[in-house]
Structure 1
Amino acid sequence: MNDNLLPFDIGPLNPSGYGLILSLVCFALVFFPLSRWLLPRAVRIQEERAERIEGGMEHAERVRAEARALREEREALLAAARHDAARTRQRAHEEGTALIVAAREDGQRERERILAAGAAAIEAERTVAVAALRADAEGWGRVLAERIIGEPLTIRSK
C-alpha cells in the first residue's frame, strides 16, 4: 500500500499520512505551551524594552532642550560680559587720554614756569654781571690804554 499523500514519487519529501499526523501532534504539543507562556512573556519584555527606549529618548530630548537653554543663557551672559568689558576698556582709554592731556598741560605749565624763573634769574644775573663789567671795564680800559701808550693816564672828570 502506498501511504504517501502525493501520487507521484518525489523521494523523501513526499509525506506519509501517519508521519503528517504525528508531525501535527508534535507541533501542537510544542506550539500551545510556547504560545501560552513563552510568547506572551517575550512580547511583554519587548514592549517594556520599547517603552524604556522611548522613555530614554524623551528624557534625552528633555536634557538636550535644557542644555540648549543653558547654552543660550551662557552665550547671552558672555555677550553681555564682552559688551561690559568693551565699555570698560573704552572708558579706561578715554580716562587715560584725559589723564595724559592733563599731565601734558601740567608739564607745559611747569615748563613755562621754570623757563620764566630761569629767564628772570638769567636776566638778574646778566644785570649784575653787566653792572660789574661796567665797573671793571673802565679800570681795564685805562690799564690797557696805559700799556698801549706806555704812559700812565690821568682821567678827566666830566
Structure 2
Amino acid sequence: MELIIAAEEPLPILPHGNELVLGIVAFAILLFVLWKFAVPRFEKLYEERTDAIEGGLKRAQETQEQADRLKREYEEQLAGLRAEAARIRDDARAEGQQIKAELRAEAEQEAARIKARGEEQVVAARDAAQRSLRNEVGGLSVQLAERLLREQLADDSRRSSTIDSFLGELEQSAGAQRSGAN
C-alpha cells in the first residue's frame, strides 16, 4: 500500500508541469531581454575597454619613442656642446699663449730700451767724469808744473798745449794698461 500511495503523490524533486512551462517561458523572456539589451551593452563596454587599453599601450609606445628621440637629440646636442667647449678651451689656451708671447716680447723690448738708456747714461756719466777729471788733472798738472818750474805760465795757449800733451800721455798710458789687463 505504501507503494500505491507513493505513486499517486508527486515526487518532491520533479516540478509540476505548469511550473515547468512557466519557468521555461520566463527563462526565454529573460534570455531574450538579456540578448537584446544587456549583451550589446556588455559588448560595447568590452570594445571601449579594449580600445582604451590598446590606445593606452599605443600612446605609451608613442611616448616611449618620443622620449627615445628626445634623448638622442639631447645626447647629440650634449656632444656638440662638449665639442664646442673643447674648441673654446683650445682657443683660450692659444690666445693665452699668444698674449704671453706678446707680453714677453714687450718686456724684452722694454728691457732692451732700459738697458740702452742705462748704457747711454753710463757713457754720458763716463764722458762727464772724463771731462771733469781732465779739467782737474789739467789744473793739478799746471800747479805741479808751476811748482816745479817755479814760474807761472802766463800764456794761455802755452798752458792749453801743455795740458793737452799731458792728458794725451795719460790716455796713452791708460790705454796701454787696459790692453795689458785684457
**So what's the TM-score if we normalise by structure 1?**
0.70
Deviations 1:41-76 (A, max 9, x none): 112221122113202321231232122112201210
How many Å apart are 1:107 and its aligned residue? 0.9
What aligned pairs does 1:40-79 form with structure 2 within 5 A after superposition? 40-79=40-79
Instruction: Note if 1:4 corresponds to 2:2.
Output: no
Change (3 A) 1:24 1:35: same
The structure with the larger Rg is 2
Equivalent position of 1:35 in the other structure = 35
How many Å apart are 1:113 and its aligned residue? 1.8
2:15 to 10, 14, 17: 17
2:147 to 115, 140, 154: 154
Give the number of aligned pairs. Answer: 140
What aligned pairs does 1:138-149 form with structure 2 within 5 A after superposition? none
Deviations 1:100-149 (A, max 9, x none): 11210221122012112112112211220232144235667999x9xxxx
What's the % identity of the aligned pairs? 30
- Name which structure has the greater RCO, CA cutoff 8 Å, separation 6+: 2
Change (3 A) 1:140 1:17: farther
**After TM superposition, where is structure 1 displaced by more than 6 Å over at least 4 residues in a row?**
140-143
**So what's the TM-score if we normalise by structure 2?**
0.62
Which structure has greater helix proportion? Answer: 2
How many Å apart are 1:25 and its aligned residue? 4.8
